[in-house]
Amino acid sequence: MKVLGADIVTDDMANIYATFKGSEDLPRIAVGSHCDSVVQGGNYDGILGVISAMEVAETIVTKKIPHRHPITVMIWTNEEGARFDPAMMSSGVITGKFDKNKMLASKDKDGITFGEALDASGYKGDEKNRMNPKEYMAFVELHIEQGPVLEAAKMDIGVVEGVVGMVNYEFEFIGQAGHAGTVPQRMRKDALYAASEAIQYLHRELDKLDSKLVYTTGRIICSPNVHTIIPDDVKFTLDARHQDPKIVQQVVDVIENIPKELAKCKVSYRKLWSRKTVAFNEDLVDLVEKNAKEYGYSCMRMYSGPGHDAQFVADILPTTMIFVPSIGGHSHCEIEKTSLDNCWKGANVLLKTILDIDKK
């Protein structure tokens, strides 16, 4: 990007901005994604959006395509939240969703704070370099779908209308530890068994709701986690997502109606975080669909299940996303892949969309 003539800066949350001047002094068009990954993740999540944005910029510069607005290629920091909670940390701070001081205090499993890691990274810049709605006019993010829908429908492009709402809760079960060989089954307070009953309860009740609801028990912590000791403290998380706020509220109702005691163990829960359904800018969504069709690519409108930096940016700027298919629906794993042909098609739609926005 520097070789092509970009002015490159970082902000106080280590987000990277590579800006190419336009022919006029106008607000910037931002395009990009993230480079961080989950543990044992793949090679396409986030990074494809960054490479595609760089390819768009390189094409515009090398082909000398006229553009009035400056174009900024962006890389967001800590989108995944894999090492430091929460996900989409830096875009959340920039858009006012998260308190910066609390984010800097977030710790990894080794007790290192995000602030300490930020200082050591060499990418910490100035707050004045942050994206802000006075200097930017739009943001577009290309991303892999991370699911099987596009491939199953034999579609080249996902026209993303928004991001679904979600809730994330942690449940805790308190029992009584004891020797695995001496306490009769009828006298036990097995916290792991209680947790298993709760998971069955949640599946049973949530399955009665809308068929498009997705939910996951993604993390289980069992204490003391020793094969000769009856578990006395078990925690698990529930992640539930749906486009309709009414369905999300029904999920909360199911959670709040969970029995206060299961298998003689005390049951409690707490909300870790939530997000509302976010709708992207209709004009930009229409542009993506128009451009996909003009190229002759098959496309479909859809909402994103995963969260993305774009959903936070949508609160301060007109925003949209472009999805490309994930082979087998695989993501957040090492076999994550998107065909080269679909990567190319996504980049083409991205380029045309940026150029169309520039005409506005």
Decide if 96 is inside a domain. yes
Same domain membership, residue 188 and residue 42: no
Shared-domain flag, residues 131 and 226: no
**Residue 352 counted as domain residue:** yes
Beta strands in 135-260 (DSSP E): 136-144, 157-163, 165-174, 214-216, 220-223, 233-242
Q: Are residues 108 and 225 in the same domain?
A: no
Predicted TM-score (pTM) of this structure = 0.89
Its domain, for residue 171, covers 165-275
Residues 285, 344 share a domain: yes
Between CA 224 and CA 178 the distance in angstroms is: 11
pLDDT tens, position by position, 292-318: 999 999 999 999 999 999 999 999 999
Note whether residue 75 is domain-resident. yes
pLDDT for 303: 96
Tens of pLDDT, residue by residue over 5-40, are 999 999 999 999 999 999 999 999 999 999 999 999
82 and 142 fall within a common domain: yes
Does one domain contain both 147 and 64?
yes
- Write down which residue in 248, 275, 302 finishes a domain: 275
pLDDT greater than 90 at residue 228: yes
Task: Assess if residue 1 is contained within a domain.
Answer: no
- Which of 209, 243, 275 terminates a domain? The answer is 275
DSSP reduced 3-state for 190:
coil
Report the domain count for the chain. 2
Please write the tens of the pLDDT for every residue from 57-113. 999 999 999 999 999 999 999 999 999 999 999 999 999 999 999 999 999 999 999
Residue 275 has pLDDT above 90, yes or no: no
Q: Is residue 249 classed as helix, strand or coil in its secondary structure? A: helix
Q: Do residue 125 and residue 68 come from a single domain?
A: yes
Does residue 294 share a domain with residue 255? no
Q: Determine the Cα–Cα distance for residues 27 and 12; give it in Å rounded to an integer.
A: 21
- Percent of all residues in the chain with a pLDDT value above 90, rounded to a whole number: 98
Average of pLDDT values for 199-218?
Answer: 96
Torsions phi, psi for 345 (to 5 deg): -65, -40
Q: How far apart are CA 172 and CA 191, in angstroms?
A: 9
For 103-112, the CB contacts below 8 A with 24+ separation are 103/13, 108/83, 108/84
Burial class (CB in 10 A: 0-12, 13-18, 19+), 125: middle
What pLDDT is recorded for position 57?
98
85 and 13 in a common domain: yes
**Which residue among 224, 243, 275 closes a domain?**
275
